[in-house]
Structure formats: structure tokens, C-alpha cells
Structure 1
Amino acid sequence: MDQDVLSTPGHLISLAARGFARLSEARLKPLGFGVGHLPVLVALQDGRASTQRDLARFAKIEQPPMAQMLARMERDGLIRRAPDPADGRSSRITLTALAEARLPEAVSVLLRGNHEVLRDFTDEEAALLVDLLTRLIANLDRLANAEAPPGAAIGGKGE
């Protein structure tokens, strides 16, 4: 084998992602959030999504895990659902006052963690890393969509 599989970008990024997830989970738990909640909370706060289908697309996860996460978030008092006046088959999802009150601290915790793990990076290196990872994710999305069977795009199933 020409290349050590443990030195490939995929393996190293996986290790980094797991490390970030462990750090973030430990720091978000006291606030009542999980790391997977943050894309949903931010999308709801910013108005980028308000239905399960849109949240699944935004967070790039399939519908069944999104439905499970939303059920847990509703149980924990972080979101509420109301019938969608435009479509009786779906619900509009909004943040509760509890989630809105805790979200700024959660974002601060995550930003602080990112700053801490990039402490030995210059500003230019950190910016380059973000650019490279953004491009990598775009390539992964393009490949996944090209190889997915028709109608099976991530988050693209019915609500």
C-alpha cells in the first residue's frame, strides 16, 4: 500500500470530528443541548428553516433521525410544533423561550472551543483550514448526490 490509511484526510478529519463532538457535547450538556441540536436551533432562530423537511435538508441528515431529534427536543422543551396553515400535513417548528435564552451561551461555548483548538494556528492558517474544509464538503456533497439513486438526496425524503 502506497499510503498509510491512518494518514489519509478522511481518517484524520474523522478523528478531528469525533474530538470536536466529544468536546462540544461535554460543554453543551449543562445547557441542555447536544451538538446535533445546534444546526436546528440556528436554522430556526435565523428563519432558514421551519419544517422538519427543511431542517433535515439544512442539517444534511435524513428524515427519520431528524424526526427523532425533533421529538427529543420537543420533549425537552426546546422547540414547539404548530400546524402549518399553508399545509395541513406538516408542522411549523419554532424555538421555545428556554432555547432562545440558552442559545447565545451555547454558540459562545462552541466558538470558544473552536478558538481553543486552533490556538497554535495563525489567523491565515485557520482561514485556510475553513476554506479547504468548505471545499472538501462541497466535493463530498457533489459526489454523494451524483452517486445517490434518484430521489434519495440527503434530507430529500417526504415529511
Structure 2
Amino acid sequence: MDTSDDLRFDRGDGTPGRLRRQLSRLLGMTSAQASRVASEALAPLGAHKAHFVVLAVLAEGGPASQSEIADRARIYRSDLVAVLNELAEGGWIVRAPDPADKRRNTITITDRGRGRLAEIEAVLDDVNDRVMAPLSEAERAQLFSLLGRVNAHLASGGGASPAP
């Protein structure tokens, strides 16, 4: 199992310069550490990041089909079923036949689910604060802005390899 030391990007003179210059390596290792911190913080609640994502999608976008949730949340449809089952067991969502199409279900967040969302969000806000502790508020905003721009660039095909 990876420990935070295993995931350190730079170990000083022990890290070759070529490795220190690789953005994908830095982002991957930072992401793995941040994910570990978030998972550990959510564990006492019996929650997962996917619970937060689905509840947030439903709270902000309203009731939706499983397919719509998968698209909005960017969760694989095969993974979404297990997440929805867990959320339904907790009473945080309800499934009901779609009045417009009886072949599919509409998923809706419950009042209890809105409370759960707030509980998870508070934990994740604390995680964000701990992860970004070395940064000022301005630096945090700048980091989100810069990473958002890089992500948008890559999503639009900007990082694709040229055709042979």
C-alpha cells in the first residue's frame, strides 16, 4: 500500500531531475495523496467521494435518470449502480418510475440526503483546507483557475498526440 512518503514527488537529491520535470507525475502523486486524505476523512462517516458527487449532482440538477446522473457526475454507469444502492439503503435518495417513461427510474435526493450532502461537504471542505494549507487564499484561487484551464485544454483535445 502506498504511504504518503511513497507518494512524495521530490525526495531532494534522490529524485532525478527528469522525474521532477514531469507534470503528469507531480499531478498523479498529488492526486493520490489528496484522494487518500479525503478517503480517510470520509471513512468514519461510512461515506465515499462518489456519494458526494452523486448527491451534489442531484441537489443542484434535480431528479435524473441513472444515465443522466452518470453523464453529469462522470461516473461509469457500471460503478454508479453500487453507489445508488448505497445511497438508497441510507435513505439519501429514492428511486421511482419515471412518469414519462415507465421503463426507467428517476432518482431524487431526499431531505435526509441533503443533510448527508452537507455533512460530507463539511468534511471535504476541511480536507481542502488541510491539503492546501501551505497556500494563501489567492494562491488557492489561482491553483483552481490554472488547473481548470489546463483541464479544459486537455478535454478539448489540446493535449492529443499529433497524427503520425
Query: TM-score of the superposition, structure 1-length normalised?
Result: 0.77
In structure 1, distance between residues paired with 2:22 and 2:90: 39
User: 1:82 corresponds to which residue?
Assistant: 96
**2:118 corresponds to 1:142:** no
Q: How does 1:43-62 map to 2 (within 5 A)?
A: 43-48=57-62, 50-62=64-76
SS in 1 for 2:43: helix
* Correspondence for 1:17 among 28, 31, 36: 31
Provide Cα deviations, 1:3-49, integer angstroms capped at 9, x if missing partner: 72464221211112221221111222222320121111111112356
Q: How does 1:74-113 map to 2 (within 5 A)?
A: 74-113=88-127
Query: TM-score of the superposition, structure 2-length normalised?
Result: 0.75
CA spacing shift, 1:7–1:79, aligned 2, 3 Å: farther
Percent identical residues: 31
User: 2:3 corresponds to which residue?
Assistant: none
How far apart are 1:121 and its partner, in Å?
A: 1.0
In structure 2, distance between residues paired with 1:49 and 1:65: 19
User: 2:145 corresponds to which residue?
Assistant: 131
SS in 1 for 2:157: helix
In structure 2, distance between residues paired with 1:83 and 1:6: 53
Give the total of aligned pairs.
145
User: 1:41 corresponds to which residue?
Assistant: 55
| Mapped contact 1:78–1:98 kept (Cα < 8 A) | yes
User: 1:120 corresponds to which residue?
Assistant: 134
**2:56 corresponds to 1:66:** no
Matched to 1:39, the amino acid is V
Higher RCO (CA-CA < 8 Å; seq separation 6+): 1
Provide Cα deviations, 1:77-132, integer angstroms capped at 9, x if missing partner: 33221011112222111123432222212111111111122122122211111011
User: 2:9 corresponds to which residue?
Assistant: none
| Mapped contact 1:51–1:92 kept (Cα < 8 A) | yes
SS in 2 for 1:111: helix
How far apart are 1:56 and its partner, in Å?
A: 1.0
Let me know the Cα RMSD of the aligned residues.
2.5
CA spacing shift, 1:33–1:122, aligned 2, 3 Å: same
Matched to 1:105, the amino acid is E
